[in-house]
């Protein structure tokens, strides 16, 4: 059988022919791709000519093109459309790819060529981008063991292989526990308080499983509305405990041992390379530069946010006792009480907003906003394949009318798709190659009687992920290794978080916030309430994010391997950011995929860090106009198109004219006047 993964795709824009690809194609293709890539590296090493940027660094950049493409396809499918078969293949592929990475990074002869160029770079007239790539390659080798002795290199290989497989297993366990739970309701009286659309969606879920009544799952569009609106406290408790037990049950999916082993391996790896901790290793290549700087940043925010959070919590407790008859609040009460308090204080019910945010119009709106800002045009092409019938594919054209990117959109939860929302790419950008970008979310599904109507939080999520997508779509660099989101991890959230700001602006909302039945533009009073709601419980929300940041750092600092018990450690760290008593049956860490499966280990603080950048950057848009063409062009030219070609602080200052000011974030959040 012919394997389509062994050659370039002969399709429009070299798009992926998903229907032609079988799970059994991946391993043979990856093995062949790795063999070819290693042969290409041997050719670089065996050159008799002296090392130059062109014959070594540029040549290395072009190695393994098919390998990168095929591994991206495999791992993206494993996140968005997985199966037991695909999970097994990903587990087989992981050690192959880790070994390949190590074979490259620990190739002494290759490193000697790179080192020679790095030490003599003044002899070559390199561009800024070439200098950045050279430095990135040199550091990439040095930080991945090139300076180690042979025994240490072998130990590093063992650590990396085990680490990669544990991360995959962690994610599989979270998904398995998420999919295994369902709450089956047969009496409608138990569903008091739930919006009709939520009930209809739950009824359709039950119907799809050949059951009567209503079924709720731990997928966000099912879980969040039940926790927010259900009057039945027992149901909220049952759902909350199930959500908190993911990866924390007495079954094969328990992640506690995996966490302890992962933090041990990360620390051992860092020590092998001469660092005190995994955090020290990671943060050396971040804007924050050190664990001390991150701690100071988080602590400073904590001091500003805690007094506001304490007041907000007291207001919730008083309201719960006086208006809802809850003398003591538990974990499963907070979303419910918070929503009721918001309705009372702001006279804003999220359910009143949803009819103005049908997914189709919001998507069209974000496309139009991208058009106004950056001259992009999105055209759906039904002849291009997605990996699932719900996936839509768009051709993206720039202001000159040139093809610029492919965009895949995948918006609804289903079995085999992990929770949350993310942007990824199937193909990166480099000179003479445009990218293929994917935005994946888990939004409320359409029902028999209504289209997909988004909560305002889902609207901001779409804008957030689309901001990441723009970072990929508008990338315009020479080298793929510096393109798009290939930037310092605490800079990568700037394009996504700044995009959320347009959700709160009247001029932007009027483009897409239209009633799904009447096409009426969202009333001005609702827009004013949305803007007020942006400040609602910002102290508590900030504290929650800081808690994740503190927890992440605690697992990756110098004392990480002193941790004996995941749950008790987590409880001790989070105590200062929570006003609730601890729930023994629940554990955040065992489903904390960002740091144990994704790339945010020792980097979760970057969400708040990037909020400082985005609040400050958006102030310029507010000064000049949110659709000001010059400001948008400057943001595109200095941030979105540049990727990691220069230090992020240099790029930020070039756009903003100054260093970022943390006061902008505190002011926007209403934490300072």
What is the DSSP secondary structure assignment for residue 50, as one 8-state letter? P
Phi-psi region of 586 (alpha: psi -120 to 50; beta: other; left: phi over 0): beta
Asked whether the predicted pLDDT for residue 481 surpasses 80, the reply is: yes
Read off the pLDDT of each residue in 648-655 and give the average, rounded to a whole number: 96
Q: Where exactly does CATH 1.10.1370.40 map onto the chain?
A: 358-515
Asked whether the predicted pLDDT for residue 673 surpasses 70, the reply is: no
Strand locations in 288-419, DSSP E? 377-380, 392-397, 403-410
Asked whether the predicted pLDDT for residue 614 surpasses 70, the reply is: yes
Asked whether the predicted pLDDT for residue 294 surpasses 70, the reply is: yes
Pick one of 1.10.1370.40, 2.40.10.120, 3.40.1400.10, 3.30.420.40 as the CATH number of 358-515.
1.10.1370.40
Q: Where exactly does CATH 1.20.1050.40 map onto the chain?
A: 4-147
**Separation of alpha carbons 454 and 221, rounded Å:** 9
Work out the pLDDT band at 335, boundaries 50, 70, 90. very high
pLDDT number for residue 670: 83
**Separation of alpha carbons 591 and 210, rounded Å:** 30
Read off the pLDDT of each residue in 352-375 and give the average, rounded to a whole number: 97
- How many Cα neighbours within 13 Å face the side chain of 323? 16
**Separation of alpha carbons 637 and 474, rounded Å:** 9
Q: In 3D, which of 376, 368, 412, 611 has the Cα closest to residue 512?
A: 368
Asked whether the predicted pLDDT for residue 622 surpasses 90, the reply is: yes
Read off the pLDDT of each residue in 647-658 and give the average, rounded to a whole number: 96
CATH code for 246-347+535-673?
Answer: 1.10.1370.10
- How many Cα neighbours within 13 Å face the side chain of 444? 33
Work out the pLDDT band at 350, boundaries 50, 70, 90. confident
pLDDT number for residue 122: 86
- Residue-wise pLDDT tens digits, 376-405: 999 999 999 999 999 999 999 999 999 999
pLDDT number for residue 661: 87
Mark whether 465 is an active-site residue.
yes
**What torsion, rounded to 10 degrees, do the Cα atoms 182, 184, 185, 190 define?**
-30
Tokens of residue 10, six digits: 């002969």
DSSP letter string, 202-247: HHHHHHHTT-SSEEE-SSHHHHHHHHHH---HHHHHHHHHHHHTTT
What pTM was computed for the model?
Answer: 0.93
Asked whether the predicted pLDDT for residue 662 surpasses 90, the reply is: no
Tell me whether residue 95 is exposed, middle or buried, using C-beta atoms within 10 angstroms of its C-beta: 0 to 12, 13 to 18, 19 or more: middle
- Mean pLDDT for all residues in the chain: 96
Phi, psi of 440 (to 5 degrees): -120, 125
Work out the pLDDT band at 123, boundaries 50, 70, 90. confident
Asked whether the predicted pLDDT for residue 606 surpasses 80, the reply is: yes
pLDDT number for residue 667: 85
Asked whether the predicted pLDDT for residue 666 surpasses 90, the reply is: no
CB of 270 closer than 8 Å to CB of 276: yes
Read off the pLDDT of each residue in 594-607 and give the average, rounded to a whole number: 94
pLDDT number for residue 625: 98
Strand locations in 197-351, DSSP E? 214-216
For residue 359, give the 3-state DSSP assignment.
Answer: helix
- Residue-wise pLDDT tens digits, 56-71: 999 999 999 999 999 9
Q: Where exactly does CATH 1.10.1370.10 map onto the chain?
A: 246-347+535-673
CB of 89 closer than 8 Å to CB of 168: no
Asked whether the predicted pLDDT for residue 616 surpasses 70, the reply is: yes
**Separation of alpha carbons 130 and 54, rounded Å:** 10
Using CA of residue 278, residue 279, residue 280, residue 283, what is the dihedral sign? positive
Read off the pLDDT of each residue in 505-532 and give the average, rounded to a whole number: 95
Read off the pLDDT of each residue in 40-59 and give the average, rounded to a whole number: 97
pLDDT number for residue 252: 97
Work out the pLDDT band at 354, boundaries 50, 70, 90. very high
Asked whether the predicted pLDDT for residue 480 surpasses 90, the reply is: yes
Tokens of residue 6, six digits: 């062994």
Tell me whether residue 94 is exposed, middle or buried, using C-beta atoms within 10 angstroms of its C-beta: 0 to 12, 13 to 18, 19 or more: buried
Read off the pLDDT of each residue in 98-111 and give the average, rounded to a whole number: 96
CATH architecture of structural domain 4-147? Up-down Bundle (1.20)
Contacts 24+ apart (CB under 8 A), 86-94: 86/23, 87/168, 87/172, 89/23, 89/24, 89/26, 89/27, 90/168, 91/165, 91/168, 91/169, 92/27, 93/26, 93/27, 93/30, 94/161, 94/164, 94/165, 94/168
**Position of tokens 């097994």?**
88
Asked whether the predicted pLDDT for residue 270 surpasses 90, the reply is: yes
**Separation of alpha carbons 281 and 279, rounded Å:** 5
**Separation of alpha carbons 590 and 592, rounded Å:** 6
Asked whether the predicted pLDDT for residue 7 surpasses 70, the reply is: yes
Work out the pLDDT band at 664, boundaries 50, 70, 90. confident
Q: Catalytic one among 395, 458, 465, 500?
A: 465
Work out the pLDDT band at 299, boundaries 50, 70, 90. very high
Read off the pLDDT of each residue in 613-636 and give the average, rounded to a whole number: 97
- Residue-wise pLDDT tens digits, 558-579: 999 999 999 999 999 999 999 9
For residue 659, give the 3-state DSSP assignment.
Answer: coil
Read off the pLDDT of each residue in 75-95 and give the average, rounded to a whole number: 97
């Amino acid at each position: 059988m012919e394997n389509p993964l062994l050659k370039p795709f002969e399709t429009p824009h070299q798009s992926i022919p998903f229907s032609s690809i079988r799970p059994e194609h991946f391993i043979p293709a990856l093995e062949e791709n790795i063999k070819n890539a290693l042969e290409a590296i041997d050719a670089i090493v065996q050159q008799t000519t002296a090392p130059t940027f062109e014959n070594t660094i540029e040549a290395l950049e072009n190695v393994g093109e098919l390998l990168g493409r095929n591994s991206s396809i495999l791992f993206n499918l494993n996140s968005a459309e997985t199966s037991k078969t695909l999970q097994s293949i990903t587990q087989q592929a992981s050690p192959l790819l880790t070994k390949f990475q190590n074979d490259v990074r620990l190739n002494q002869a290759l490193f000697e060529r790179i080192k020679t160029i790095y030490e003599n770079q003044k002899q070559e007239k390199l561009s800024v981008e070439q200098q950045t790539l050279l430095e990135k390659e040199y550091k990439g080798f040095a930080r991945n063991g090139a300076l180690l002795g042979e025994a240490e290199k072998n130990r590093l290989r063992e650590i990396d292989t085990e680490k990669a497989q544990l991360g995959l297993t962690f994610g599989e366990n979270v998904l398995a526990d998420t999919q295994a739970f369902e709450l089956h309701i047969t009496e409608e009286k138990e569903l008091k308080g739930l919006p009709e659309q939520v009930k209809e969606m739950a009824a359709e879920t039950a119907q799809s499983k050949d059951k009567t009544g209503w079924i709720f799952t731990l997928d966000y569009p099912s879980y969040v509305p039940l926790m927010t609106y259900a009057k039945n406290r027992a149901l909220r408790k049952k759902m909350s405990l199930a959500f908190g037990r993911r990866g924390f049950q007495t079954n094969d999916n328990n992640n506690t041992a995996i966490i302890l082993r992962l933090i041990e391996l990360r620390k051992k790896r860092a020590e092998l390379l001469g660092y005190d901790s995994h955090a020290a290793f990671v943060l050396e290549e971040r804007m924050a530069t050190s664990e001390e700087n991150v701690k100071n940043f988080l602590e400073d925010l904590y001091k500003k946010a805690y007094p506001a959070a304490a007041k907000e919590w007291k207001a919730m407790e008083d309201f719960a006792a006086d208006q809802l008859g809850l003398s003591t609040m538990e974990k499963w009460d907070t979303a419910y009480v918070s929503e009721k308090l918001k309705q009372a204080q702001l006279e804003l019910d999220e359910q009143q907003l949803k009819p103005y945010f049908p997914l189709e119009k919001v998507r069209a709106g974000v496309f139009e906003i991208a058009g106004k800002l950056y001259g992009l045009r999105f055209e759906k092409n039904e002849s291009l394949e997605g990996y699932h019938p719900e996936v839509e594919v768009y051709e993206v054209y720039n202001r000159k009318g040139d093809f610029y990117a492919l965009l895949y959109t995948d918006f609804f939860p289903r079995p085999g798709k992990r929770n949350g929302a993310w942007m990824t790419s199937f193909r990166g950008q480099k000179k003479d190659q445009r990218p293929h970008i994917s935005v994946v979310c888990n939004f409320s599904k359409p029902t028999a009687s209504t289209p997909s109507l988004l909560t305002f939080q889902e609207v901001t999520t779409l804008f957030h992920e689309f901001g990441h997508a723009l970072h990929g779509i508008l990338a315009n660099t020479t080298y793929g290794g510096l393109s798009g989101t290939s930037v310092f991890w605490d800079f990568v959230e700037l394009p996504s978080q700044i995009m959320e700001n347009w959700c709160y602006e009247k001029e932007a909302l009027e483009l897409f916030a239209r009633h799904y039945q009447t096409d009426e533009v969202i009333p001005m009073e609702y827009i004013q309430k949305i803007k007020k709601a942006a400040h609602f419980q910002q102290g508590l929300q900030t504290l929650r994010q800081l808690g994740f940041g503190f927890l992440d750092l605690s697992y990756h600092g110098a004392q990480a391997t002193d941790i004996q018990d995941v749950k008790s450690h987590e409880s001790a760290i989070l105590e200062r950011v929570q006003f609730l008593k601890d729930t023994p049956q629940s554990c955040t860490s065992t489903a904390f995929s960002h740091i144990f499966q994704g790339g945010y280990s020792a980097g979760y603080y970057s969400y708040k860090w990037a909020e400082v950048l985005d609040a400050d950057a958006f102030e310029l848009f507010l000064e000049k106009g949110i659709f000001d063409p010059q400001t948008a062009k400057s943001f595109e030219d200095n941030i979105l198109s540049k990727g990691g070609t220069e230090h992020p602080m240099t790029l930020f200052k070039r756009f903003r004219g100054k260093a970022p000011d943390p006061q902008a974030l505190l002011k926007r959040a209403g934490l300072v006047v």
